Structure 1
Amino acid sequence: MSLDRRHFLLATPLALAGCGGILAKQPYVARSDWPLAPPPPVGAGVGGRGVVQVQGIAAGPTLSQRGLITLLADGSIHQGYYNRWATAPAQATTAALIAWLEASGAFAAVVGEGSSLTPDLIVEGTLDTLLADPAAQVARAALTLVVAKPVGIGERPLAQRRLRATAPLAGVTAPDLVAAQRAALAGVLGQAVALVRGLGAAGGADSH
């Protein structure tokens, strides 16, 4: 074996050990998946009438991914890589809206798409906004909701509203961002329940 080759073989473990020391200094950061759905209020009444079908809530332009969204000072959007929602926000909002409408006790049944029950009201919409705004120290949520009544093979729109809510933002850590956005979404869900409940109580009358 040549002297140069033996020198290379001896030096290689030392070089790799040095690289390992550098890599060891970089801490591993794991991704965190945060549940989004805020729990509905307790103590709601029971014995409602009618069937409500909630169709899948669509995702707005910035909400197709699961990363937590923060509005930066320059007006741009930062989407987190290490902190994400456990479920896509629009999908979580659909499930939460069903749970909140059920908990309201205002209806005999609340179902999702594909149910065999004939609905008295159909609810659909788009989750437009769900983000933290540290500069304003708030989280923001916005949901465009459409409520319609089945008529024959079609639907008759009863109401379309853009529901908005904010919640205080205590800090910029991931738990702060999550808690504030959950609270903002809860505010929007409360408005959605009130809208659908009012239309149901009116027997599907027009509301504008």
Structure 2
Amino acid sequence: MNRRAMLLALGVLPGCSVLPERPYVETRHFPLEPRRPAGAPAAAGGRVLLLRAVRPGAGMDGRSLRSVRADGTLALAPYAEWAAPPAEAVESALRQWLQASGLFSAVTATGSRLPSDLVLEVELTALESRPDRAVAAFSALLVEDGGLVSSRLRGQFALRGEAPMRGEGDAAAAAAMTAALAAAFTALESDIAGALRSPAPRR
């Protein structure tokens, strides 16, 4: 019996395989839930804010944890993902964050029947870890809702938050990215508060 015939014979034996077995690695899922710093919120405003669906920027529609190596190349974690698509998680977290800020009487979602005074549009552009820090970034437009004809821009923002890496591994990276997102949310809240204090531009 030649070598090829012997391999074929071994392949049909119960429990036998000529291919090496790969160990099963379970994918870990991490929530993206930034914590708002403790402190008294601003006095509740009477405005209603409509937060539209957060748009994912280029390359931001996947759930795998992203990292940038020291040489600048991008890596996707093979067995570590966000529990939800990042843009969806950012939208949910930002809605809760702004509601807790006290700047608005309500923060609604697309499809709500509650009339809105302001509209916030957000695009997520970065959420990644690096060897020494994590980065979260997004752009935002704040518009006074007066219909298609009379809408007025109240603010245009480019937000970026950073947080140090504390440890190694996927869990440390996810925690740092969540903290970086919290820093970006804090900056956005401050920018929105400043825009609301400024006189509205004339139509």
Matched, 1:167 2:166: no
Matches within 5 A, 1:1-208: 16-17=15-16, 19=18, 22-23=20-21, 26-45=22-41, 47-134=44-131, 137-154=132-149, 155-202=151-198, 205-206=200-201
Q: The residue matched to 1:17 in structure 2 has which SS?
A: coil
Q: Distance in 2 between matches of 1:140 and 1:152?
A: 35
Amino acid at match of 1:28: Y
Identify if the C-alpha distance between structure 1 residues 108 and 12 changes in structure 2 by more than 3 Å, giving closer, same or farther: closer
Identify if the C-alpha distance between structure 1 residues 120 and 82 changes in structure 2 by more than 3 Å, giving closer, same or farther: same
Amino acid at match of 1:118: P
Amino acid at match of 2:16: A
Shift of 1:12: 5.3
Contact 1:44 1:103 in 2 (8 A): no
Q: Which residue of 2 aligns with 1:4?
A: none
Contact 1:50 1:200 in 2 (8 A): no
Shift of 1:164: 0.7
Q: The residue matched to 2:185 in structure 1 has which SS?
A: helix
Could you state the TM-score of these two structures normalised by the residue count of structure 2?
0.85
Percent identity for Structure 1 against Structure 2: 32
Identify if the C-alpha distance between structure 1 residues 200 and 8 changes in structure 2 by more than 3 Å, giving closer, same or farther: closer
Shift of 1:172: 2.9
Q: The residue matched to 2:144 in structure 1 has which SS?
A: strand
Identify if the C-alpha distance between structure 1 residues 73 and 15 changes in structure 2 by more than 3 Å, giving closer, same or farther: farther
Structure 1 gaps, min length 5: 1-6
Could you state the TM-score of these two structures normalised by the residue count of structure 1?
0.83
User: Which protein is bigger by CA-based radius of gyration?
Assistant: 1
Structure 1 segments, 4+ long, off by >4 Å, are 7-16
Aligned pairs, how many?
Answer: 194
Q: Which residue of 1 aligns with 2:3?
A: none
Shift of 1:48: 2.4
Contact 2:67 2:74 in 1 (8 A): yes
Q: Distance in 1 between matches of 2:171 and 2:143?
A: 37
Shift of 1:150: 1.4
Q: Distance in 1 between matches of 2:172 and 2:39?
A: 28
